[in-house]
C-alpha cells in the first residue's frame, strides 16, 4: 500500500481497488483499464467488464498502453517507512531501490555474524560501537578478541597482574608459575605425600618443622628400595602378561585350525589322526603344552619335553597322555566328535552303522577303542565329496561295462547268424556238388554198363532212380526249401 | 484480517463528502458494518421520511456485493416486510466498479421509482398496480408513522 503525495489523476485510478493502477491492464474488447490483479480476480468472479458489463475473459486482457504505465510509475509516493521516520518521497518505480539501498529506516542485520540483531540502517554505526560481538583489543597483550569475551580474557591474560593468594604479592600473571615454585607461603604437600603422608602446609614450614617430625621421612630409604622393586616387578609382570596374550592368540589359532581339520575330516578324523597332524610348529606346540599342563608334575613336564623333541609324529600320542593327566573337558573342544554325522550316517547307510555303533558316546572311548578303518560313504565333507564322485565313476564304469557286454552279445548273435547262413549256403553247395558227383557217377555207371553190353536205361531212368534220396534229404536241410538247385 | 485500502478510502469519503440525503457511518468494533440513513426523495410518497438501513461488506467485497437491508418499515413494492431489497445491482448485476455510495444512491432512486413489475412484496405491488394513488397514500402513512424524524 502506497501513500501518494498528491491526489493522483482520477483517470489513473482502478475502479476496483480505488488506487492508481498497478501493472495496468487493458481489456481488448472494451478498452477499460484496471490493475492486473484486480481485473483477474474480478473476471474469475464474474466474466464481464466491471464498468460496462460486456463479457470479458482473461484472454481479453493485455498490458495497458506504456503511457499509462509511465504515468503511474512516475507518481510521487511517500516512503512506506514514514511511520518509522523516513520523510523521503520519490517516484513509485524507485520504491524497491530506495528500500533496498538507501532508506535509513529499514531494519538490516548486524554485520557481525554471531549478532542476530536487526538494526535500522541509520543506527548501524552506533550499533557497531556497542555490539557485544564487535572486535576489540586487549590493552594488556594486544590480541584482538570479541568484546563479549573480554572479561573472561582479562582473568586469563598473561600480561595482566595477578595476586598470590598466599603471600598477597602482585606480579604479572605470566610469572605466576614461577612464583608458585618459590613463594614461601605457598601451600605444598609433604615430600613423602606419595608414600602416604597427608600433611600440607606453607613451604617454609616443610623444611623447618615438618621434615623433622614426619614419620615417613625417617624410612624414606626403605621406600626408595621398595618402589624400585615394585617397578621392576611391574615391568616383569607386564612382559609376562604380553606373553600370555601372545600364547592365547596362538591357542586360538590352533583351536581354529583343529576345528577346521575335524570339520574337513568329519568321521575320517579318528582313523587318520595318527598319520595326519595339523600344521603346528614345534614352538607353538611347546607353548600349548606349557599352558595346559599347568600344574607342573614331573610326568607331564617330561611328556611335554618329548613332544618338543619328536614333535610331529608323536603329536596325537602326546595328546593322549595329556588327556590322561589333565582335564578332559579342557581338551575336549580340540577333539570334537561328530556324533551327529555318525547318526545321520547310520540312518542313511546301514553298513556304516556297524562301524560307528561302538562310538555313540564319549571322548574317552573314542580315543581308547580301536576303530575300524572302514570309512563311511555318503558324508558331507570334501573328503567324502571325492568319495561320492569315485562312487559315481564306479557306477559309470559299471554301466559302460554293461553296455559293452550288451554290444558284445549283439555282435555275437550277428556273427553266429552270419555263420549259420554261410553254413547253409555251404551245405547247398555241398549238396550241388554231391548231385553233380551223382550225375557223373551215373554217367560213368552208364558208360560202364554200356561197355558191359547192357543198353542204358537213359538219363530219365537214372533220374527217377536217384531222385528219391534227394527228396529224402531235403527235409533235413535247415535252409529254405526250393533253392536255386 | 486487515481492512482493504479500498474500504478505508470509501469510508473516509462517505464520512467526509456524503451524498445528499444519505449518511453512512461504520461501527467502531466492525468497520465492515455500516449504519445508513436515506432521506425519502422529494416528490415521492416517502418524502420527509428518514429510513434507517444496515449495510455489511462481506469478505469478498468488492468482488461480491454489499448486503443491505431496510431497518425502518416501508410500504414499497420492491422491499418486503423484513426490509430485504429487490435491486439488481445487489444481486446478479453487481460489479466491482460499483461502491457503497452508488449502491445507496440506487436505493434512493428506487424509492422515487417503485417497480411493481418486478415485485418482492407481492401484495404491495398488486396494490400499486391496481390503485397507485391509494397505494401511495398508504406509503405516505407508513412514512409518517415509522420514518418520521
- Tell me whether residues A18 and B10 touch, CB distance under 8 A: yes
Pick the residue of A1, A3, A10, A18 with the most B CBs within 10 A to test the interface with B by mutation: A18
pLDDT of residue A177: 79
Partner-chain residue, chosen from B9, B62, B93, that has the shortest CB–CB distance to A16 = B62
Enumerate residue ranges in chain A where pLDDT < 70: 1, 267-382, 452-485
pLDDT of residue B97: 92
Confidence category of residue B1, pLDDT binned at 50, 70, 90:
low
- Tell me whether residues B96 and A53 touch, CB distance under 8 A: no
pLDDT of residue A142: 77
Partner-chain residue, chosen from A1, A18, A45, that has the shortest CB–CB distance to B63 = A45
pLDDT of residue A319: 45
Half-sphere CA count of A288, side-chain side, radius 13 A: 23
A279: left (phi over 0), alpha (psi -120 to 50) or beta: beta
Q: How distant, in Å, are the alpha carbons of A171, A173, A179, A355, A440 from that of A168? A: 10, 13, 11, 97, 170
Name the β-bridge partners of B79.
B76, B85
Is A451 part of the contact surface with chain B (CB cutoff 8 Å)?
Answer: no
A280-294, B4-18, B48-62, range with the lowest pLDDT: A280-294
Known catalytic residue at B86 = yes
> B62: closest CA among B14, B107, B11, B4?
B4
Q: What is the mean pLDDT of residues B34-42?
A: 93
Residues 12-51 of B with CB under 8 A from A: none
> A56: closest CA among A68, A44, A65?
A44
Q: What is the mean pLDDT of chain B?
A: 91
How do beta strands A161-163 and A144-146 pair? Answer: unpaired
Q: For residue B64, give how far its alpha carbon lies from the nearest alpha carbon of chain A (Å).
A: 8
Grid coordinates representing B140 are 405516505
Pick the residue of B8, B63, B96, B99 with the most A CBs within 10 A to test the interface with A by mutation: B96
A459-484 as b/e, with b when 16 or more CB fall inside 10 Å?
A: eeebeeeeeeeeeeeeeeeeeeeeee
One of B14, B24, B86, B100 is an active-site residue; which one?
Answer: B86
Evaluate if residue B20 carries a pLDDT over 50: yes
Partner-chain residue, chosen from B5, B94, B97, that has the shortest CB–CB distance to A51 = B97
Is B64 part of the contact surface with chain A (CB cutoff 8 Å)?
Answer: yes
Residue A75 CB neighbour total at 10 angstroms: 18
Q: By CA distance, what is B63's nearest residue in A?
A: A42
- Tell me whether residues A45 and B97 touch, CB distance under 8 A: no
Please tell me the total number of residues recorded for chain A in this structure: 485
pLDDT of residue A119: 85
d(CA A426, CA B13): 149
Is A50 part of the contact surface with chain B (CB cutoff 8 Å)?
Answer: yes
Is A30 part of the contact surface with chain B (CB cutoff 8 Å)?
Answer: no
Q: Are A188 and A200 in contact (CB under 8 A)?
A: yes
φ and ψ at B58, to 5 degrees? -70, 170
Instruction: Kindly list the residues from chain A whose CB atom is less than 8 angstroms away from the CB atom of residue B9.
Output: 18-19
Is B62 part of the contact surface with chain A (CB cutoff 8 Å)?
Answer: yes
Q: If you count residue pairs, one on A and one on B, with CB atoms under 8 Å apart, how many are there? A: 38
Partner-chain residue, chosen from A17, A46, A48, that has the shortest CB–CB distance to B6 = A17
Query: To 10 degrees, what angle do helices B5-16 and B100-112 make?
Result: 50
Is B96 part of the contact surface with chain A (CB cutoff 8 Å)?
Answer: yes
pTM score of the predicted model = 0.46
CA geometry: angle A436, A442, A446, nearest 5 deg:
145
Is A15 part of the contact surface with chain B (CB cutoff 8 Å)?
Answer: yes
- Tell me whether residues A18 and B5 touch, CB distance under 8 A: yes
Pick the residue of A15, A19, A55 with the most B CBs within 10 A to test the interface with B by mutation: A15
Amino acid at each position: 500500500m502506497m501513500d501518494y503525495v498528491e491526489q493522483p489523476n482520477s483517470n489513473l485510478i482502478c475502479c476496483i481497488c480505488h488506487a492508481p493502477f498497478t501493472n495496468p491492464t487493458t481489456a481488448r474488447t472494451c478498452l477499460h483499464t484496471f490493475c492486473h490483479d484486480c481485473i483477474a480476480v474480478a473476471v474469475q468472479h464474474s466474466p464481464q467488464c466491471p464498468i460496462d458489463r460486456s463479457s470479458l475473459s482473461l484472454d481479453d486482457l493485455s498490458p495497458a498502453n506504456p503511457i499509462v504505465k509511465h504515468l503511474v510509475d512516475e507518481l510521487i509516493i511517500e516512503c512506506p517507512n514514514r511511520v518509522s521516520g523516513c520523510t523521503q518521497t520519490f517516484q513509485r518505480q524507485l520504491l524497491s531501490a530506495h528500500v533496498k539501498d538507501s532508506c535509513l529506516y529499514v531494519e538490516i542485520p548486524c554485520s557481525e555474524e554471531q549478532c542476530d540483531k536487526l538494526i535500522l540502517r541509520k543506527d548501524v554505526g552506533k550499533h557497531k560501537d556497542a555490539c557485544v560481538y564487535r572486535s576489540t583489543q586487549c590493552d594488556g597483550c594486544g590480541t584482538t578478541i570479541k568484546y563479549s569475551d573480554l572479561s573472561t580474557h582479562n582473568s586469563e591474560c598473561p600480561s595482566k597482574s595477578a595476586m598470590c593468594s598466599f603471600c598477597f604479592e602482585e606480579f604479572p600473571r605470566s610469572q605466576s608459575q614461577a612464583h608458585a615454585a618459590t613463594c614461601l607461603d605457598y601451600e605444598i604437600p609433604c615430600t613423602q605425600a606419595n608414600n602416604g603422608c597427608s600433611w600440607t602446609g606453607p613451604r617454609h614450614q616443610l623444611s623447618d618443622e615438618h621434615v623433622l617430625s614426619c614419620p615417613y621421612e625417617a624410612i624414606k630409604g626403605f621406600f626408595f628400595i621398595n618402589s624400585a622393586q615394585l617397578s621392576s616387578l611391574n615391568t616383569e609382570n607386564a612382559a609376562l602378561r604380553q606373553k600370555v596374550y601372545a600364547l592365547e592368540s596362538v591357542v586360538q589359532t590352533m583351536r581354529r585350525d583343529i576345528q577346521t581339520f575335524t570339520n574337513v575330516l568329519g568321521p575320517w578324523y579318528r582313523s587318520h589322526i595318527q598319520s595326519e597332524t595339523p600344521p603346528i610348529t614345534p614352538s607353538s606346540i611347546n607353548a600349548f603344552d606349557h599352558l595346559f599342563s599347568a600344574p607342573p608334575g614331573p610326568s607331564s613336564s617330561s611328556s611335554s619335553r618329548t613332544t618338543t623333541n619328536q614333535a610331529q609324529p608323536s603329536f596325537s600320542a602326546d595328546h593322549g597322555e595329556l588327556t590322561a593327566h589333565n582335564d578332559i573337558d579342557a581338551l575336549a573342544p580340540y577333539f570334537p566328535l561328530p556324533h551327529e554325522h555318525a547318526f545321520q550316517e547310520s540312518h542313511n547307510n546301514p553298513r556304516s552303522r556297524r562301524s560307528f555303533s561302538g562310538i555313540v558316546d564319549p571322548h574317552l572311548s573314542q580315543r581308547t577303542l580301536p576303530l575300524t578303518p572302514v570309512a563311511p560313504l555318503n558324508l558331507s565333507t570334501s573328503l567324502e565329496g571325492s568319495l561320492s564322485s569315485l562312487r559315481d565313476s564306479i557306477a559309470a564304469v559299471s554301466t559302460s561295462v554293461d553296455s559293452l557286454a550288451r554290444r558284445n552279445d549283439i555282435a555275437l548273435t550277428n556273427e553266429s547268424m552270419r555263420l549259420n547262413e554261410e553254413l547253409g549256403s555251404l551245405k547247398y553247395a555241398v549238396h550241388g556238388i554231391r548231385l553233380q558227383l551223382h550225375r557223373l557217377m551215373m554217367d560213368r555207371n552208364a558208360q560202364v554198363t554200356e561197355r558191359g553190353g547192357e543198353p542204358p536205361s537213359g538219363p530219365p531212368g537214372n533220374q527217377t532212380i536217384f531222385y528219391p534220396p534227394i527228396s529224402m534229404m531235403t527235409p533235413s536241410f535247415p535252409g529254405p526249401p526250393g533253392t536255386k538247385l | 484480517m486487515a481492512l482493504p485500502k479500498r474500504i478505508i478510502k470509501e469510508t473516509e469519503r462517505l464520512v467526509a463528502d456524503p451524498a445528499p440525503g444519505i449518511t453512512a457511518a461504520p461501527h467502531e468494533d466492525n468497520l465492515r458494518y455500516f449504519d445508513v440513513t436515506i432521506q425519502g426523495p422529494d416528490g415521492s410518497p416517502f418524502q420527509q421520511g428518514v429510513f434507517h438501513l444496515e449495510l455489511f461488506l462481506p469478505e469478498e467485497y468488492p468482488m461480491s456485493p454489499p448486503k443491505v437491508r431496510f431497518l425502518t418499515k416501508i410500504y414499497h413494492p420492491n422491499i418486503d416486510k423484513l426490509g430485504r431489497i429487490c435491486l439488481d445491482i445487489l444481486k446478479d448485476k453487481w460489479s466491482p466498479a460499483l461502491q457503497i455510495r452508488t449502491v445507496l444512491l440506487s436505493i434512493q432512486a428506487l424509492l422515487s421509482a417503485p417497480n411493481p413489475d418486478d415485485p418482492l412484496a407481492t401484495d404491495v405491488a398488486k396494490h400499486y398496480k391496481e390503485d397507485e394513488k391509494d397505494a401511495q397514500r398508504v406509503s405516505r402513512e407508513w412514512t409518517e408513522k415509522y420514518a418520521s424524524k
